[in-house]
Amino acid sequence: MENQEYSVGLDIGTTKIVAIVGRRNAHGKIEVLGVGKAKSLGVHKGIVNNISQTINSIKAAVSEAQSSAGVPIRKVTVGIAGKHIRSLQHSDYIMREHPDKFITDDDIEALKDQVKKLVMLPGEEIIHVLPQEYKVDSEGEIQEPVGMHGKRLEANFHVVVGQMGSIRNIARCVREAGLEMEALTLEPLASSEAVLTKEEKEAGVAIVDIGGGTTDIAIFKDNIIRHTCVIPYGGGIITEDIKEGCSIIEKHAEQLKVKFGSAVPELEKDSTYVTIPGLHGRPDKEISLKTLAQIINARVEEILEMVNTELKAYGAFEQKKKLIAGIVLTGGGSNLKHLRQLANYTTGFDSRIGFANEYIANDKNQYLKGPEFATSIGLLMESLKIRDKKLNIVEEPVQEKTQPEAVTAQAPAEEAQPVQQPNIGPVHEQKPEEQQENKKAARLTFGQSLMEKVKKFFEEVE
């Protein structure tokens, strides 16, 4: 199998590192070829804090993915998150040299490149430049300007910025794990690709991806990305609270949270207890599920209040910016029991759990159904998009070469030299009589040249 036939998404999370290998089938759905998963060592709150441990974790996940897929992995699309991520709005424009020609993708890229030259704070780097709405010659609210005519091309951009050091650390870990980083994508954008529908993005929706170390937010309205941010708290801090509050080890705290945890204490009975084995001969410990829910509730409410603050910062409670589709909760933290009800109550928006297997064609055993795979599947989808775009770019020039007019137009008559003739005309060398004939034909009108061709045809038939 050729490397171009498949793509790879690599999610470097705080609790786990996941590599997913897949390709697009004939129906446009994703066929997963292999999945690799490893415990994430060396990442804290989305930021690499131990290079060698992170490299080993990446190698373990990629090795497992290679074994299950049966293909070599070279290029990967990687996700980035962390509290260092911030976003800003920016407007910019370019004046086109040839307004008589229609706007192309190259003009859009030129405008994006101009935005990428923005001066950021010391140590910061631009990760994404996302166009929102375009304006052509003062005509606004244009979603797709390609094909239009105009002199001034302007756009509003959503610019995502991150710390240069954190980006370099991720790049180094990927490189030293023997891989090439195809692209770096903001994790909430990747998750949104996997779990949001076009209708939700049109109506207005906020995706809240609760991971192990961070909670990532992306807000869409009118199919346009409006706001992104990363909150430096996730499921890991809830486990930490349980560990401290119940005086137990982290392993038992995580198991308690996953198996018995609830975000709403009122829905738990006072009389229900769970027994935790004691350490090294110490007596077992009994923990009330209501007490457990109270510990979880305190931290989850804090995270949801931070989500609310971000929704207010965007203006989600204003009539024009209202999120009709509400909130989509995803990520491993969204598996917490009764979280949806608490989110509805805290934010005032209707919410649902976002499952990532909607675009997967061959997930018969529902392994990838869990919301914890939303980011990695989204990264795979992003990688497939990049691959499709590259294939189109490669094919386009080949198509142009098959058109003799396009080739001829690039060779002005005054610059033509004898050695270049085979590229712009017939292969055989022209005699003086033929050259004279060609000059004469060039001076003929369209009608005259047509008559000449008809006349020559009948002469040959005779």
Q: What is the pLDDT of residues 418-435, one digit of tens each?
A: 434 334 344 444 444 444
User: What value does the mean pLDDT take over residues 11-27?
Assistant: 92
Position 87 pLDDT exceeds 70: yes
Report yes or no on 428 lying in a domain.
Answer: no
Beta-bridge mates of residue 210 = 215
Determine the pLDDT at residue 364. 66
Position 317 pLDDT exceeds 80: yes
Report yes or no on 451 lying in a domain.
Answer: no
Contacts of 265 (CB under 8 A, 6+ apart): 290, 293, 294, 297
Q: What is the pLDDT of residues 273-293, one digit of tens each?
A: 999 988 887 888 999 999 999
- Within this chain, do residues 41 and 105 fall inside the same structural domain, yes or no? no
Report yes or no on 41 lying in a domain.
Answer: yes
**pLDDT confidence band for 300 (50 / 70 / 90):** very high
- Within this chain, do residues 283 and 349 fall inside the same structural domain, yes or no? yes
Here the CATH number for the domain that contains residue 112 is 3.30.1490.110
Do the strands 16-24 and 7-12 form a parallel or antiparallel pair, or are they unpaired?
Answer: antiparallel
Here the tokens at position 204 are 């207005």
Whole-model pTM: value is 0.81
**Mind giving me the DSSP string for 65-81?**
HHHHHTS---EEEEEE-
Report yes or no on 372 lying in a domain.
Answer: yes
Residue 308 is part of which domain span?
A: 197-353
- Within this chain, do residues 287 and 348 fall inside the same structural domain, yes or no? yes
- Within this chain, do residues 216 and 345 fall inside the same structural domain, yes or no? yes
Which of 162, 187, 217 is the last residue in one of the domains?
162
Q: What is the pLDDT of residues 318-359, one digit of tens each?
A: 999 999 999 999 999 999 999 999 999 999 999 999 998 778
Residue 30 to residue 24: CA distance in whole angstroms: 5
335 three-state secondary structure: helix
* Secondary structure E strands in 138-196: 139-142, 152-163, 180-186
Report yes or no on 272 lying in a domain.
Answer: yes
- Within this chain, do residues 326 and 365 fall inside the same structural domain, yes or no? no
Which of 162, 182, 212 is the last residue in one of the domains?
162
Q: What does pLDDT average to over the chain?
A: 85
- Within this chain, do residues 242 and 340 fall inside the same structural domain, yes or no? yes
Q: What is the pLDDT of residues 388-415, one digit of tens each?
A: 888 776 555 444 433 433 333 333 333 4
Determine the pLDDT at residue 394. 56
Number of domains in the chain: 3
- Within this chain, do residues 54 and 100 fall inside the same structural domain, yes or no? no
**Residue spans of alpha helices (H) in 204-337:** 235-246, 250-260, 289-314
- Within this chain, do residues 20 and 132 fall inside the same structural domain, yes or no? no
Q: What is the pLDDT of residues 349-392, one digit of tens each?
A: 999 999 987 788 887 667 888 899 999 999 999 999 988 888 77
Report yes or no on 430 lying in a domain.
Answer: no
CB < 8 Å & 24+ apart, contacts of 308-315: 308/346, 308/347, 310/217, 310/219, 310/227, 310/229, 310/231, 311/206, 311/219, 311/347, 311/349, 313/227, 314/219, 314/226, 314/227
- Within this chain, do residues 149 and 207 fall inside the same structural domain, yes or no? no
Report yes or no on 36 lying in a domain.
Answer: yes
User: What value does the mean pLDDT take over residues 132-153?
Assistant: 92
Here the CATH number for the domain that contains residue 14 is 3.30.420.40
The mean-pLDDT minimum among 7-16, 105-114, 310-319, 422-431 falls in 422-431
- Within this chain, do residues 347 and 387 fall inside the same structural domain, yes or no? no
- Within this chain, do residues 56 and 99 fall inside the same structural domain, yes or no? no
Report yes or no on 407 lying in a domain.
Answer: no
- Within this chain, do residues 65 and 93 fall inside the same structural domain, yes or no? no
Position 205 pLDDT exceeds 80: yes
